[in-house]
Structure 1
Amino acid sequence: MTVRRFNSLLLLALLTVSGSSSTKVVGRAGEDVTLPCKYDITSNGPTEVFWNRVSESLLGFNHQIIYSDGYKVIETTRASSRYHLLGRLEDGDVSLTILNTTEEDAGRYGCRVETSGWLFNDEKHLIDLTIEKVSGSSSTKVVGRAGEDVTLPCKYDIKYYGPRAVCWGRGSISTYGCNNQIISTDGSKVTTGASSRYQLLGRLKDGDVSLTILNTIEEDAGLYGCRVEIPGLGNDEIHHIDLTIKKAPSTSSTPTTETTEQTPQTEQTTNTSGQVTITTSSNSINSEQQEAGGGVLVFMVRVLLAVIALVTAGVATVIGRRWNQHKIPQQQQSSTSVRFSSNSSAVELQLLQIDAGGNSDCVYEV
């Protein structure tokens, strides 16, 4: 394995010095890019593949970034979780995909497919990668509302790298560190913070270093950058988030009128002389609209009481006639008085019991 790596690096150095032609690939910051590399697996069968980053120095190489034995990627050789062989290895497609590219990913890459025979029989591919800078170089956009909390996402593979230092800054991420740094963490706890409104509320132990801005204002809008420090030259993971803050909706207060309704109460009392007094009262209703309709209610109550009085008088008359038929003594006389009152009105009914001659005397007062 060590000899093969040395041969791979030596070959890339020779190719660089000799000015070998290369394939040019152009990507955009924040997007994924694929560097092509394939071989004829039907002729050679599954074989080892090496990917390296190539410098412009005399030696022409710096370090290996990923390796496959022809069947799978050997994880211990993966220099960054952003490097993947997403092609069909069983078909000989060993193209390199770089996730979430940054400007630091630009440069020359080398792919070597080992074949039987001498070193110079191996298949060699050089790819020159150019990364175009995009205004706000971010594929992530977040929209918040003034006065509310908002979270800007940023995560990394903590199982692979372990806890890593992370910084957040306003504006585009620079080559090193964070511009206008607002908060940072050593991977286990927050170490610096420019304001108490900036919080890392995600689970740091799971690699969630998302930034939460509390009680946002319109001035919080703009570009933010998250840098995760990964060992190796140009391996840092960089995320850009473009935050838009919308104005809070205007609130208008509408006057409200409280209305209190109470059910009319009826009291009935009977005195020793047989006089029955029925009193109906209605409490005040605290509403201008109901006060306007109070007169109608009083009128209806009056009509109802009058009807009750007439019905009571009729019933009393029938009862008197039946008593007369049973020859009740002439001297026996009884009087019944029914009185109704409701606030400003009163209904009074007096019934004089039937006399000996069968005559009746009824007096109604309304």
Structure 2
Amino acid sequence: MSEPAWTLFMCFLKCSSSEDHVNITAALGQVVSLPCRVSSNISVTVVEWSRLDLEPRYVFVYRIGSPNPDDQNPAFKNRVELEDSQMEDGDVSLILMNVTSEDRGRYKCRVVQSRTKMMMRIINLDVRQPGDAAEDKGGGGCTVGNAGPAVRVSVVALAVSAVVGFVIFRK
């Protein structure tokens, strides 16, 4: 494979992501936004941010027009809020303040907009020490782990096509 084609392939592999699965890295003590968006033309009736490894599992709950702190895990009280409390433009992203190592995990954003419209998104949050050498040095925040199954299949198909094309070209 030629150098420009290989570079393009690696960039595609590195920065591809899926709309329903995202990896986020935050440093201890940081404020981080866990992204989640829905259609803005349908009103939101339920927003549930949860972690299944917790009991109670809810990080943030919004039902019937207001937040419901009674169902919230105590570790997140007074540390989470919606990016846009009005949920304008479908933004139901969660702001997590003063990130701790215990915040590391798999978050699920579940949004109900009507009886027939529901959306879920998975966010993997990794927490590191500030200035950790293992942090992505690429600057773009993309990691191979962001790639969803459809993107990985596309990347494999692209790689196979490139190898076959290279073999045919060499002959």
TM (normalized to structure 2)?
Answer: 0.55
Task: Indicate conservation of the 8 Å contact 1:67/1:73, yes or no.
Answer: yes
Which residue of structure 2 lines up, in the alignment, with residue 96 of structure 1?
A: 94
Match of 2:123 among 127, 137, 142: 127
> How far apart are 1:115 and its partner, in Å?
3.2
Q: 2:94 corresponds to which letter in structure 1?
A: L
| Deviation sequence 1:66-123 (CA, Å, 0-9, x none) | 11126432232333211211324241221111110011111100010113345xx410
Question: 3-state DSSP class of the match of 1:124?
Answer: strand
Which residue of structure 1 lines up, in the alignment, with residue 4 of structure 2?
A: none
Match of 2:111 among 94, 97, 113: 113
> Taking structure 1 as reference, are residues 53 and 31 closer, same or farther at Cα in structure 2, changes over 3 Å only?
same
Which residue of structure 2 lines up, in the alignment, with residue 84 of structure 1?
A: 81
Percentage identity across paired residues of the two chains: 27
Question: 3-state DSSP class of the match of 2:70?
Answer: helix
Match of 2:52 among 51, 54, 63: 54
Match of 1:63 among 48, 52, 57: 57
Measured in 2, the distance between the counterparts of 1:85 and 1:29 equals 20
> Taking structure 1 as reference, are residues 128 and 62 closer, same or farther at Cα in structure 2, changes over 3 Å only?
farther
| Number of equivalent positions | 109
> How far apart are 1:64 and its partner, in Å?
1.4
Measured in 1, the distance between the counterparts of 2:68 and 2:128 equals 31
Which residue of structure 2 lines up, in the alignment, with residue 75 of structure 1?
A: 69
Task: Indicate conservation of the 8 Å contact 1:29/1:132, yes or no.
Answer: yes
Measured in 2, the distance between the counterparts of 1:94 and 1:69 equals 13
Is 1:28 the counterpart of 2:24? The answer is: no
Alignment RMSD: 2.7
Measured in 2, the distance between the counterparts of 1:35 and 1:75 equals 19
Task: Indicate conservation of the 8 Å contact 1:71/1:89, yes or no.
Answer: no
> How far apart are 1:62 and its partner, in Å?
6.2
Return the structure number with greater relative CO, CA threshold 8 A, min gap 6: 2
The residue correspondences of 1:267-286 to structure 2 (distance < 5 A) are none
Which residue of structure 1 lines up, in the alignment, with residue 40 of structure 2?
A: 41
TM (normalized to structure 1)?
Answer: 0.27
| Deviation sequence 1:303-326 (CA, Å, 0-9, x none) | xxxxxxxxxxxxxxxxxxxxxxxx
Task: Indicate conservation of the 8 Å contact 2:56/2:72, yes or no.
Answer: no
Task: Indicate conservation of the 8 Å contact 2:46/2:62, yes or no.
Answer: yes
| Deviation sequence 1:166-222 (CA, Å, 0-9, x none) | xxxxxxxxxxxxxxxxxxxxxxxxxxxxxxxxxxxxxxxxxxxxxxxxxxxxxxxxx
Question: 3-state DSSP class of the match of 1:54?
Answer: coil
> Taking structure 1 as reference, are residues 70 and 32 closer, same or farther at Cα in structure 2, changes over 3 Å only?
farther
Task: Indicate conservation of the 8 Å contact 2:51/2:106, yes or no.
Answer: yes
Which residue of structure 1 lines up, in the alignment, with residue 10 of structure 2?
A: none
Bigger Rg over Cα: 1
> Taking structure 1 as reference, are residues 52 and 123 closer, same or farther at Cα in structure 2, changes over 3 Å only?
same
Task: Indicate conservation of the 8 Å contact 1:72/1:89, yes or no.
Answer: no
The residue correspondences of 1:234-313 to structure 2 (distance < 5 A) are none
Task: Indicate conservation of the 8 Å contact 1:51/1:64, yes or no.
Answer: yes
Measured in 2, the distance between the counterparts of 1:66 and 1:88 equals 12
Could you list the runs of 5+ residues in structure 1 that have no partner in the other structure? 1-20, 136-366
Q: 1:37 corresponds to which letter in structure 2?
A: C
More strand by share: 1
| Deviation sequence 1:261-301 (CA, Å, 0-9, x none) | xxxxxxxxxxxxxxxxxxxxxxxxxxxxxxxxxxxxxxxxx
Measured in 1, the distance between the counterparts of 2:48 and 2:92 equals 9
